[in-house]
Amino acid sequence: MKTKSKELDVDFIGGQDKPLTKEEQSTISTFIKKLKEEQNKSSKRKSLKTDKELA
């Protein structure tokens, strides 16, 4: 017999009643910047490979 999974009644995760601290904001901001830089590097590499293959 299959077991049923429990459905959670969750509207939000974490303590959203308090704003982020300056330290938390800067940590999240630097993390997002690093992700964007990595994505830009990988997309540049892909475009360079296709340009070389076409030549």
pLDDT of residue 33: 95
Residue 55 has pLDDT above 80, yes or no: no
User: In Å, how far are 4, 10, 26 from 1, measured between CA atoms?
Assistant: 10, 28, 50
pLDDT of residue 36: 93
Q: How confident is residue 54, by pLDDT bands cut at 50, 70 and 90?
A: low
Predicted model pTM: 0.50
- Output the 3-class SS for 1-55: CCCCCCCCCCCCCCCCCCCCCHHHHHHHHHHHHHHHHHHHHHHHHHHHHHHHHHC
Per-residue b/e over 20-40, b at no fewer than 16 CB within 10 Å? Answer: eeeeeeeeeeeeeeeeeeeee
Digit-coded pLDDT (tens) for 17-40:
778 889 989 999 999 999 999 988
Residue 14 has pLDDT above 70, yes or no: no
How much is the average pLDDT of 14-18? 70
